[in-house]
Amino acid sequence: MDNNEYFLVQHTLSINLHPVNETQLPIDQDAFEEEIPGPFRMASDLAQADVSMLAPLKLNSENTQALWHFLQAQNQKINTLLSYVLTQQDEQQARHQSIKFSAGSIIVAGSDKWAVGDNVRLKIFLPEESSAIYCYACVSDSSESECVFSYTFIREQDRELLIRASLHVQSQQLKNRAKQRELNS
């Protein structure tokens, strides 16, 4: 799928950008996956487990409702701990803020620091998902107002996590707009 085929959502995320030259890029997907730091791998794997394990539960009785609430509480504890571990991976000197993101690219406010073709090691922090993503990207477009980083090395489950995160953000934005319309009526 082409990066332009993913839905861009306007949202601020904390990210880390580290410039890298061609010789510092992984030689292939396997080499990339080998270098992913443990906390990022764990965050992605746990986010994937949440989706695949909790979603199919059927809540037909009081007992299953109690079990569901217990599992949700345990999941929240794990997510809180994981969020703390991930904050330790956020480097203040490399921190930037996104203005839009998708499963194909992330956009930051324009900067004269980046030129089309520049490569970066990228950390994307998704607090709403209690997760973070480690990947590589290349500047695919740059203007005075914004700079587009298109992912070049990213795990497929991390791309799926970005899709879910963008859908969650869009859903929340739509709910907020509906509430605002009600207040204005």
Burial code of 35-46, b = ≥16 C-beta within 10 A, e = fewer? ebeebbebbbeb
Q: Is residue 121 situated within a structural domain?
A: yes
Q: Is residue 3 situated within a structural domain?
A: no
Number of CB atoms found within 10 A of residue 9's CB: 18
Q: List, in sequence order, every residue forming a beta bridge with 108; answer none if it has no partner.
A: 98, 147
Phi, psi of 126 (to 5 degrees): -115, 80
What is the pTM (predicted TM-score) of this model? 0.83
Half-sphere exposure for 155 (CA within 13 Å, toward CB): 23
* Residue whose structure tokens are 């979603």: 55
Convert the pLDDT of each residue in 46-56 to its tens digit.
777 665 665 56
Q: Are 122 and 20 in contact (CB under 8 A)?
A: no
Model pLDDT, residue 184: 86
Q: Are 48 and 158 in contact (CB under 8 A)?
A: no
Q: How far apart are CA 7 and CA 162, in angstroms?
A: 10
Alpha-carbon separation of residue 19 from 105, 126, 149, 185 (angstroms): 16, 21, 12, 49
Number of domains in the chain: 1
Percentage of residues of the chain with pLDDT beyond 70: 88
Model pLDDT, residue 82: 76
Q: Is residue 86 situated within a structural domain?
A: yes
CA dihedral sign, ordered 109, 114, 118, 123: negative
Q: Residue 56 belongs to what domain range?
A: 8-184
Q: Is residue 173 situated within a structural domain?
A: yes
Q: Is residue 78 situated within a structural domain?
A: yes
For residues 108 and 85, the model is more confident at: 108
Cα–Cα nearest to 147, from 97, 182, 183, 184? 97
**Average model confidence (pLDDT) across the chain:** 85
The pLDDT of 126-152, averaged and rounded, is: 92
112, exposed or middle or buried, with CB in 10 Å at 0-12, 13-18, 19+? exposed
Q: How far apart are CA 88 and CA 178, in angstroms?
A: 37
Convert the pLDDT of each residue in 156-171 to its tens digit.
999 999 999 999 888 8
Model pLDDT, residue 51: 58
Q: Is residue 1 situated within a structural domain?
A: no
Convert the pLDDT of each residue in 7-65 to its tens digit.
899 999 999 999 999 999 999 999 999 999 988 888 877 777 665 665 566 556 666 77
Model pLDDT, residue 182: 84
Q: Is residue 2 situated within a structural domain?
A: no
For residues 47 and 134, the model is more confident at: 134
